[in-house]
Amino acid sequence: MKNTDSVWECVDRLSKAAIELSDAVWAVPELNFDEYRSCALHTKTLAETGFRVTRNVAGLPTAVMGEAGEGGPVIAFLGEYDALPNLSNEAGVTEHKPVPGNSNGHACGHNLLGSAAFLAAAAVKTWLEENNLPGRVRYYGCPAEEGGAGKSFMVRAGVFRDVDAAISWHPMCFTGVFPPSSLANIRIDFTFEGKAAHAAAAPHLGRSALDAAEIMNIGVNYLREHMLPTSRIHYAFLDAGGTAPNVVQSKVVIRYTVRALELSDMMELAERVRKVAKGAAMMTETRVSDQIISGMANLLPCPPLERAMYASFERLGPPPFDDEDRAWAKEMQKTFPVTDIQSAFRLVGQAPRDTSLADFILPLIGGRASMGSTDVGDVSWTVPTVQALGATCAIGTQLHSWQMTAQGKSKIAHKGMVHVAKIMAATATDIIRDKALLDAAKADHAERLKIQPYICPIPDDVGPDLQPVPVAV
């Protein structure tokens, strides 16, 4: 029996608890750094499964770590469990039906993400015990991936410093190795302060912070022509100064997100945005200050681990979806335009196929640029990291949509979650058993860091936006 067969059997034996965990987290959707119920559910499950549990990892109340095993390499599985605002929906329906009383929803599938990572870790723990092998497995429950950059704070605190390799995944409508590319990003709050005045009687005495913010937006719009085409800049007003038009607004807060393919390019572009803000303040005789809120590095590839993961995908094959699953997914596809389905195929470099669920494995493409961001990127600069994509929804389902939330407790989601847990577990056992594989991964990682050392996008004096309101489960 091949090594991977036994760890896949471990996944199957433990899958019931992981599915129950996923559904329980789906039912209590919580936002950045407020995932107290979700973290408690993961903590309880880790303890019941026999992990040595560490709470408040890196000083974050909603971060947890479970460890098992002794000696050997340390393999980390990265989990998440944060949700998104205003994307609640009833489960198992093919219509938009928000849940009364809670506007949050697991529209990015993080209820599945954390549970499958736990399942893989628990399976490897069992496999190590049953085979009396050296090796340590860790499950990291990481908060606030959706813009809060929880893993970036964890990296800064050094919690992955003794890890040999990290493994994660993300729910998607396809199955394969996660393309090792994402955008580095940074979120900065700009606060403009001026002088209030009567807008009709004494406008000449006022200095408008709102004018400064609007001029900043204009300046950044002109900047867009002179930045890399793969870079992105977005903004949102957090405080527009009030609702009285007869008052010269004296204070405005505007948040900018700056993204680029490379960490160094992102830092440079952020500085240019800061200069635009300073120029707007000079033009309006106001003052401006800025505060970094969070930041994420781009993903570093690790070809040796990606090839090992792909080999497991080839051996296991696609998820075991049946005709009932495909029929239900077909009904879900009717809720979004055909362009969403076509775009999904194009995103992964595939010609559109007449199938509602992923019945194939994506080829190992590597290097395809993602226009999204993830704080897994910061981990990838610390240790060799590999990620999978797991098919948990109908093809064409957009992340951050009510349709994703609606499919979060479906048989499709459960089957996809267990399937990708087997891939992650098999990748971990390959790393533990094959020293040459781990050595190759570490050598590749070290070579990449020689070219461009890691610079944490979050300064030492910046803390996460915590809302410490613990809630027992």
Q: What is the CATH number of the domain that holds 328?
A: 3.40.630.10
Task: Report the alpha-carbon distance of residue 142 to residue 144 in Å, rounded.
Answer: 7
Q: Summarize pLDDT for 196-220 with one digit per residue, the tens.
A: 999 999 999 999 999 999 999 999 9
Taking only the tens place, the pLDDT of each residue in 115-138 is 999 999 999 999 999 999 999 999
Residue 456, in any domain of the structure:
no
Residue 89 pLDDT more than 90?
yes
- Asked if 198 and 274 sit in the same domain, the reply is yes
DSSP characters over 120-144: HHHHHHHHHHHHT--EEEEEEEE--
Q: Is 121 exposed, middle or buried (0-12, 13-18, 19+ CB in 10 A)?
A: buried
Same domain, 258 and 369: no
Domain C-terminal end among 234, 262, 296: 296
What percentage of the chain exceeds 90 in pLDDT? 89
Please indicate, yes or no, whether residues 304 and 252 belong to a single structural domain of this protein.
Answer: no
What strand order describes the sheet that includes 385-391?
A: 52-55, 64-70, 135-142, 74-80, 165-172, 385-391, 176-177
Residue 328 sits in the same domain as residue 433: yes
Name which of 86-95, 221-230, 256-265, 367-376 the model is least confident about: 367-376
If asked whether residues 374 and 231 sit together in one domain, one would say no
CA distance 64 to 40: 9
Question: Quick one: tokens of 457?
Answer: 């996008």
Name the average pLDDT for the chain.
Answer: 94
pLDDT for the residue 351: 85
Do 242 and 326 lie in one domain? The reply is no
The half-sphere exposure of 82 on its side-chain side, counting CA atoms within 13 A, is 21
Question: Of 240, 262, 296, which residue constitutes the final position of a domain?
Answer: 296
The answer on 401 and 315 residing in a single domain is: yes
Give the whole-angstrom CA distance, residue 296 versus residue 301. 15
Q: What radius of gyration do the chain's Cα atoms show?
A: 23
Q: Are residues 163 and 304 in the same domain?
A: yes
CA-wise closest residue to 238 among 201, 259, 209: 209
pLDDT value at residue 147 = 83
For residue 386, pLDDT over 60 is answered with yes
Residue 461 lies inside a defined structural domain of this protein = no
Residue 291 in domain = yes
Output the domain CATH number for residue 259.
Answer: 3.30.70.360
Q: Is residue 72 part of a domain?
A: yes
The reported pLDDT for the residue numbered 472 is 41
Which H or E run includes 77?
strand 74-80
Res. 369: pLDDT tops 90? no
Number of domains in the chain: 2
* Residue ranges with strand state E in 152-280: 165-172, 176-177, 184-193, 232-239, 251-260
Question: Is residue 71 in a domain?
Answer: yes
Same domain, 65 and 138: yes
Claim to verify: residue 126 and residue 83 sit in the same structural domain: yes
Instruction: Flag whether pLDDT at 76 surpasses 60.
Output: yes
Q: Is the pLDDT of residue 59 over 50?
A: yes
pLDDT band for position 471 (cuts 50, 70, 90)? very low
Q: Is residue 473 assigned to a domain?
A: no
Which pLDDT value is given to residue 469?
43
pTM of the shown model = 0.93
d(CA 63, CA 143): 6
| Structure confidence at residue 453 as a pLDDT band (50, 70, 90) | confident
pLDDT at 473 over 60: no
Coil, helix or strand at residue 113: helix
Per-residue model confidence (pLDDT) at position 470 = 41
- Which domain covers residue 373, as residue numbers? 3-182+299-451
Within-domain flag for 472: no
Least confident of 94-108, 129-143, 258-272, 454-468: 454-468
Please tell me whether residues 41 and 148 are part of one structural domain. Answer: yes
Q: Please state, for a pLDDT cut of 70, what percent of the chain lies above it.
A: 96
Residues 31 and 97 placed together within one structural domain of the fold? yes
Q: What is the pLDDT of residues 237-247, one digit of tens each?
A: 999 999 999 99
- DSSP secondary structure letter of residue 461: T
Rounded mean pLDDT, 415-419: 98
Alpha carbon distances (Å) from 196 to 208, 215, 283, 396, 413: 7, 18, 17, 50, 54
pLDDT digits (tens, 9 = 90+) for 389-400: 999 999 999 999
In a domain, 467, yes or no: no
